[in-house]
Amino acid sequence: MKQGILRLLAFAMLVLCVPMGRAGAADLRGEDLRGTGDLGIIVERASGAVQIIDTTNKTVLARVDGLGDLSHASAVFSRDGRYAFIFGRDGGLTKLDLLTAAVVGRTQQAGNSIGGAISEDGRLIAVSNYEPGGVRVFTSDGLEPVADIPTDGKVVGLVDAPGNRFVFSLYDSGEIWIADFSQPGAHSVQRFVDIGLQPYDALVTAEGRYYIAGLFGEDGLVLLDLWHPEEGPRRILDGYGRGEEALPVYKMPHLEGWARAGELFFLPAVGRHELLVLESGSWREKGRIALHGQPVFAVANPDGRHVWINFAHPRNDVVQIVDVESLEVVHTLRPGKAVLHMAFTPRGEQLWMSVRDEDRVDVYDTRSLERLGSLAMDKPSGIFLAARAHRIGL
């Protein structure tokens, strides 16, 4: 870095002090330019900071702090991949320029938020709130308020869907809402009530067709076909845990970290040491896989061959890898205390993993399971790569 600064100073002297003036401009410019496709951010939850990373060189490019309470924070990316929109637990919405590491927009949009989404066209950012509930929508450009959709109680499982729609669930009243922003300057909301008790999170399938919400208040999931909302939500995997005694739930699993591989979905079971295997199309249970602990995230390698799973406290020092063909656990890793999050690079050759209590982020070669590198970070949690910009529902 020092060499870089010296070079820049040398260029500055050439560019600014030599009468011919701009001779070095192109070179100066060339050094600062870079692509955004291999960038990402990692949340340091305790210190309210994010680290900007580069997955090609497996390095940290910059650290940005002052982002408020980032426990349970998540992020989406602008369609050009340059900006991250970071949703803080305290309701703060921050727009971060990954190329300059500058906060270029920030609004304290609510008292307590749980996540957000970016519209298909990249123009709108939606945030789901716990306190005071509701969804607020902003322009991605200047974070100007666009719409305020009040609800009675907590909003969870907010995702984007094709046609500039946002879909979300109401935890307290058991509803699913579709907010349609396809018409400029106006929006409409479609409500589905009595969908089941306490939806706690949701996913949308990769093509944006099926919205699936998990229920905390009863055994089962709810499926809404967004191609046919007129058919309404229907229950799937009903009573998947019925008749068995539920374990205490140490940490709510995440469905946003759901996994699909081929025709199968892999979903963490609430409170059970199990991964549920769901067949797409028939939406029937295809099997269950016994696990080391209560699963939190189950993420599929983009190559569809393996699903990596982390676990709730106190068994969160372990990661298991399930083989999609055999439906068996084929590897058990012990990366260290408190593995909180995992993210694959978009073509699946690397997996990045936050090991919070070891203050470390590890990078694995997913083929050899070799640890390619390790970055020191302060209580790392969520890992969000800029390639999410190009995916529906992420």
What DSSP assignment string belongs to 290-330? E-SS-EEEEEE-TTSSEEEEEE-TTSTT-EEEEETTTTEEE
Sole binder of a second copy in the list 66, 217, 262, 314 (CB under 8 A) = 262
CA distance readout (Å), 14 to 27, 48, 320: 11, 40, 56
Residue 331 makes contact with a second copy by CB under 8 A: no
Sole binder of a second copy in the list 58, 292, 305, 337 (CB under 8 A) = 305
Interaction residues for a second copy, span 190-209 (CB under 8 A) = 207-209
Cα–Cα distance, 162 to 290 (Å, whole number): 35
Q: Based on CB atoms, which residue is closest to a second copy, 31 or 148?
A: 31
Residue 229 makes contact with a second copy by CB under 8 A: no
Closest approach of a second copy to the CB of residue 311, in Å: 26
Stretch that binds a second copy, among 115-123, 166-174, 214-222, 335-343 (CB under 8 A): 115-123
Q: Based on CB atoms, which residue is closest to a second copy, 102 or 290?
A: 102
Q: What are phi and psi of 266, to 5 degrees?
A: -120, 115
Residue 17 makes contact with a second copy by CB under 8 A: yes
What 3-state DSSP class applies to 234? Answer: strand
Q: Residue 25 is inside which H or E element, if any?
A: helix 25-32
Sole binder of a second copy in the list 238, 285, 349, 378 (CB under 8 A) = 349
Note the Cα 44 to chain centre separation in Å.
15
Closest approach of a second copy to the CB of residue 24, in Å: 10
And the tokens for 16?
């600014």
Mode of pairing for the β-strands spanning 92-97 and 306-311: unpaired
Q: Based on CB atoms, which residue is closest to a second copy, 198 or 350?
A: 350
How many CB atoms sit inside 10 A of residue 22's CB?
A: 11
Sole binder of a second copy in the list 184, 185, 248, 281 (CB under 8 A) = 281
Q: Based on CB atoms, which residue is closest to a second copy, 304 or 336?
A: 304
Sole binder of a second copy in the list 348, 359, 374, 375 (CB under 8 A) = 348
Whether the bond into 314 is cis, omega within 30 of 0:
yes
And the tokens for 160?
């984007």
How many CB atoms sit inside 10 A of residue 20's CB?
A: 8
Q: Based on CB atoms, which residue is closest to a second copy, 32 or 194?
A: 32
Site size with a second copy, rule: CB under 8 A: 77
E strands present in 132-255: 135-139, 145-149, 155-161, 165-170, 175-180, 188-192, 199-204, 210-215, 221-225, 234-236
Closest approach of a second copy to the CB of residue 296, in Å: 24
Residue 9 makes contact with a second copy by CB under 8 A: yes
Interaction residues for a second copy, span 141-180 (CB under 8 A) = 162-164
Q: What are phi and psi of 12, to 5 degrees?
A: -55, -45
Residue 101 makes contact with a second copy by CB under 8 A: yes
Sole binder of a second copy in the list 66, 102, 188, 369 (CB under 8 A) = 102
Interaction residues for a second copy, span 283-302 (CB under 8 A) = 302
Sole binder of a second copy in the list 69, 182, 218, 375 (CB under 8 A) = 182
Of the candidates 130, 266, 263, the residue with the CA atom closest to the CA atom of residue 203: 266
Residue 4 makes contact with a second copy by CB under 8 A: yes
Cα–Cα distance, 12 to 118 (Å, whole number): 39
Distance linking the first and last C-alpha atoms of the chain: 34
Stretch that binds a second copy, among 25-33, 173-181, 248-256, 374-382 (CB under 8 A): 25-33
And the tokens for 123?
């123009």
Q: Based on CB atoms, which residue is closest to a second copy, 52 or 146?
A: 52
Residue 28 makes contact with a second copy by CB under 8 A: yes
Closest approach of a second copy to the CB of residue 92, in Å: 21
Stretch that binds a second copy, among 13-21, 150-158, 269-277, 331-339 (CB under 8 A): 13-21
Residue 79 makes contact with a second copy by CB under 8 A: yes
Could you give the maximum distance between any two Cα atoms of the chain, in Å?
84
